[in-house]
Amino acid sequence: MPILTPSELKNLAKRVVDLEKESMYGDEESEDQRLSMIERLMIEESRRLNPQ
Amino acid sequence: MILQKLTVKNFRQFRGEHTLDFATSPEQNVTLILGYNTFGKSALLNAVNFALYGEVQPDFDEAEDLLNHAAATTRENQVEVRLRFEFQQREYEVTRKRIYNFLGNSRKTAIDEVSMAEIKRQSGSRVGVPHYQRLINRAIPPQMAPNFIFHGEKRVSLFASRGTHKQVSDAIRNILGCNVIEAAIKDLLLITKKLDRNIARESGDEQIKLFQNSIERFEQLIEENRRMIREKEEFIEASKIEITQLEQQLRDHDQTKQLQSELEHAKAKRQTAEVARLGAQKEIHRWIRESAALVCSAALSEAALDAIDEEEFRGRIPSDFQDSFIQGLLDAKVCICARSLEKGGEAWTAVEALLTQGGRKDVTDIALKVKATADRYSRSIAKARSEVGIYEDRVRSLDKEWNAANRDIEELNARLRGTNLEVLAEKARKRENLEEQMGTLQRQIGDLDRKIRVDLEPELQKVRGEYTRRIRSKPEMEKRRITLGLVEQLGAFLVEQMEVYESQAREKVLALTNQNLASMHRDKEAFFDGKFNLSLRDKVTKLQSGKSTGEAQLLVLAFTSALIHFCSVREADENEFLVPGTVAPLVLDAPFGQLDTLFQAGAISWIPRMARQVILFVSDSQARILQESPEIMDKVGACYALQIPHGEKMVLPYSIRGASVPSLNDRADSSTSIVRVW
């Protein structure tokens, strides 16, 4: 289990929620697109945590 | 958001175009719309919902059929709703059209067209708003809308049911703007499953694949069991609501009996008034017979006495006694004392003086007698006049009593119409069946829940443990594992955050609900039980109240008001995980049908304070209750009445603030029209 500091965790959660907000109240966007964007964000973050 | 104007065209009961201008000032923030049942109150409420979100509310009857039937018969195929509103100091108008395509006589399909424009205040010009739904959803987020636009009595049915935790929890989450956080949690769960599958596929390890398959199977089984529990719970919730409605209808049955007894009482009252009025009229007739002559005599005597009393007639009243008799005596030649009565002589002059004096005395005596009789008449007439005044007052008062009883009878008859006792007996049987089914379902839920907790979840945990250990033994899977762990950690964080927000919101809403209840002068307070069902209890004894519809109504008013207040306070909330709150109008149909008279006044006076703008749809009987409350009537900036064509239904005219508005119009077509009362 990766250890994120509370502020890192909050920041990451905020970015995910922003993507949800954008999808919900922004221009139309498919569910698949939104899931891919969140997944990409998670992969990027795990790379940052474990660069090897 | 402030609603300014609603225009409906061929929408349900409304043939052609009809417009309502809403009261918008903070000082007079209430718009009152009067209408009997089926006249179109719910249609107008749903027109607001349709304009904003392109759909009517789920509980609206025959929701798919919005086109006015009379319009449909002439092949007019377009329904239109325009809503003008103010949001963030700008004016907008959204226009939604539903265009029907007729397929044969009964079937039709429909397509919707929507446009929105900003109306520039200075020039009046219109500028198209491309992302109209985005703007509307910001003004009133759709998940919050059911707390602002709703049918009061239907909402009360939800709260009068035995468990309210789901309604309360949903309402608080919705007003809190939790839906983005909920969507994020759901998405992270989907991504977890996808990552799990990827790890199993990419590892090339058959054991990991087997573990993964087992995990998915257990998860599916758990999900399947949970789904069954949810379905059964939903059925139970729906049954509870149905039972509450049935109980209400059965109470109405009792009320029907009560209405019947009230009707009989009113009829007896009208009969008594009628008999008493006849009696009073007979007394007047008797008075005419017995006292009218007296009045005439008295009037004549008074006139005669007035004449006697006049100075110029004194002593000169013509009389046989005075004139002929005295003249006869004076014509005699000799007096009884044997003196000669020569005309002009001394004896003649003395006799004339004596006789004139004696004649005058007799006349005076007669006059005095007449005067005494006249005085007697005067005294009698005063008594007679006062007597007839009493009878006249009595007749007037009995007329009022008769009219009031007659109005009651008409109203009670209207309420009693349509009551079918056999149908009510059927409802009682249905209630028993539903209660039995609920018992069975509760037992099934218990079994399923046990199966999840005792069998499936421990097995899943066991397999997950094996799976994790196996993955950890493969360094090439480390990156995937870290991503998976990250997603799980994030999901758990958001669940925890949401629970914190929900718990804080629950406390605040409960406090606000109790503040509202206190303002309604109640000795009750709201509280959450262990399962977060919201109920009322006595402030002192802490004993929970029964779930009467009247108390549920009070609770709904206080709770909804608290939600609206909480939402407006959160307008400027910059919480990154929640949708901000909003200041929105309260559009409320049938707001207080069942309120106990004990706290009706307090609750009604509370309504204008519930939101910045309040639009109330009320029946005539509710309007009669409202007009007793100056706190609300002083806040009414606009009042409308709904009218239907003559001949469709016989109902009493509306009465509000002393003004009487006919409930039937003279238009020949079959359409409800909207009349502005003030």
Nearest to B486 among A21, A23, A42 (CB): A42
Contact (CB<8Å) B576/A50: no
B614: nearest Cα among B561, B553, B551, B555? B561
> Residue B371: helix, strand or coil by DSSP?
helix
Contact (CB<8Å) B493/A39: no
Instruction: Classify strands B636-645 and B654-656 as parallel, antiparallel or unpaired.
Output: unpaired
> Residue B10: helix, strand or coil by DSSP?
strand
Average pLDDT of B73-91? 91
Mean pLDDT highest for which of B160-169, B200-209, B332-341?
Answer: B200-209
Mean pLDDT highest for which of B24-33, B330-339, B414-423, B553-562?
Answer: B24-33
Give how far B405 is from chain A: nearest CA, Å.
58
Binned at pLDDT 50, 70 and 90, residue B84 comes out as very high
Structure tokens at B411: 């109203």
Residues of A in contact with B579 (CB under 8 A): 21, 25
B183: nearest Cα among B191, B175, B194? B191
pLDDT for B225 equals: 93
Residues of B in contact with A4 (CB under 8 A): 486, 489
Amino acid identity of residue B263, one-letter, is L
CA dist B617 and B622 (Å) reads 9
Structure tokens at B39: 């006249």
pLDDT for B330 equals: 65
3-state helix, strand, coil in chain B (%, to 5): 60, 15, 25
CA dist B77 and B68 (Å) reads 9
CB atoms within 10 A of CB B475: 8
Structure tokens at B140: 């009133």
Contact (CB<8Å) A35/B190: yes
Residues of chain A with pLDDT under 50: none
pLDDT over 60 at B317, yes or no: no
ipTM higher than the 0.85 cut: yes
Mean pLDDT highest for which of B115-119, B358-362, B483-487, B616-620?
Answer: B115-119
Give how far A42 is from chain B: nearest CA, Å.
6
A45 touches chain B (CB under 8 A): yes
> Residue B77: helix, strand or coil by DSSP?
coil
pLDDT for B528 equals: 81
pLDDT over 90 at B283, yes or no: no
Average pLDDT of B529-541? 78
pLDDT digits (tens, 9 = 90+) for B12-58: 989 889 999 999 999 999 999 988 877 889 999 999 999 999 999 88
Q: Are B29 and B583 in contact (CB under 8 A)?
A: no
A8 touches chain B (CB under 8 A): no
> B469, B482, B579: best mutation site toward chain A, by most A Cβ within 10 Å?
B482
pLDDT digits (tens, 9 = 90+) for B137-186: 888 888 888 888 988 877 776 666 656 777 788 888 888 888 889 999 99
Contact (CB<8Å) B191/A13: no
Average pLDDT of B108-133? 88
pLDDT for B282 equals: 82
CA dist B516 and B67 (Å) reads 41
CA angle B670, B674, B678 (to 5 degrees): 155
pLDDT for B29 equals: 93
Residue B314 φ/ψ, nearest 5 degrees: -60, 130
pLDDT over 90 at B277, yes or no: no
Average pLDDT of B654-662? 69
Contact (CB<8Å) A20/B180: yes
Contacts of B92 (CB under 8 A, 6+ apart): B84, B85, B86, B116, B117, B118, B119, B129, B135
Residues of B in contact with A15 (CB under 8 A): none
CA dist B14 and B672 (Å) reads 5
Average pLDDT of B81-100? 94
* Mean model confidence pLDDT for chain B: 81
Sign of CA dihedral B557, B558, B563, B569: positive
Chain B positions contacting chain A at CB under 8 Å are: 131, 134, 137-138, 179-181, 183-184, 187-188, 190-191, 194-195, 478-479, 482-483, 485-490, 493-494, 497, 576-577, 579
Q: Are B172 and B181 in contact (CB under 8 A)?
A: no
Q: Are B141 and B582 in contact (CB under 8 A)?
A: yes
Instruction: Classify strands B126-128 and B107-119 as parallel, antiparallel or unpaired.
Output: antiparallel
Among B197-201, B208-212, B562-566, B660-664, whose mean pLDDT is lowest? Answer: B660-664
Q: Are B391 and B291 in contact (CB under 8 A)?
A: no
In B598-635, which positions are buried (b, 16+ CB within 10 angstroms) versus exposed (e)? Answer: ebbbbbbbbbbbbbbbbbbbbbbebbebbbebeebbeb
Structure tokens at B314: 């004194």
B199: nearest Cα among A28, A21, A43, A31? A43
Contact (CB<8Å) B191/A42: yes
Of all residues in chain A, the one with the smallest CA distance to B468 is A1
pLDDT for B382 equals: 76
pLDDT for B263 equals: 78
Exposure of B419 by Cβ count < 10 A (0-12 exposed, 13-18 middle, 19+ buried)?
A: middle
* pTM for this entry: 0.66
CA dist A2 and A12 (Å) reads 13
- Top pLDDT among B253 and B453 is at B453
Average pLDDT of B528-555? 75
Structure tokens at B56: 């009517």
CA dist B151 and B211 (Å) reads 52
User: Would you give the DSSP letter of residue B641?
Assistant: E
CA dist B251 and B154 (Å) reads 16
Q: Are B177 and B580 in contact (CB under 8 A)?
A: yes
Exposure of B437 by Cβ count < 10 A (0-12 exposed, 13-18 middle, 19+ buried)?
A: middle
Of all residues in chain A, the one with the smallest CA distance to B494 is A13
CA dist B283 and B277 (Å) reads 10
- Top pLDDT among B592 and B270 is at B270
Contact (CB<8Å) B180/A35: no
B150: nearest Cα among B566, B478, B563? B563
CA dist B172 and B163 (Å) reads 16
Contacts of B198 (CB under 8 A, 6+ apart): B480
pLDDT digits (tens, 9 = 90+) for B238-271: 787 777 777 766 766 666 667 777 777 888 888 8
CB pairs under 8 A between A and B: 84
CA dist B441 and B443 (Å) reads 5
Q: Are B431 and B243 in contact (CB under 8 A)?
A: yes
- Top pLDDT among B178 and B367 is at B178
- Top pLDDT among B295 and B353 is at B353
pLDDT over 60 at B648, yes or no: no
Of chain B, the percentage scoring pLDDT greater than 90 comes to: 21
CB atoms within 10 A of CB B309: 11
pLDDT for B345 equals: 81
A12 touches chain B (CB under 8 A): yes
A7 touches chain B (CB under 8 A): no
Of all residues in chain B, the one with the smallest CA distance to A35 is B187
Residue B204 φ/ψ, nearest 5 degrees: 70, 10
pLDDT over 90 at B5, yes or no: yes
Give how far A50 is from chain B: nearest CA, Å.
7
Of all residues in chain B, the one with the smallest CA distance to A6 is B493
CA dist B627 and B622 (Å) reads 9
Structure tokens at B617: 């749809």
Nearest to A17 among B180, B190, B482 (CB): B180
Structure tokens at B271: 């009969």
pLDDT for B459 equals: 92
> Residue B18: helix, strand or coil by DSSP?
strand
Average pLDDT of B500-507? 91
CA dist B516 and B502 (Å) reads 21
pLDDT for B418 equals: 59
A22 touches chain B (CB under 8 A): no
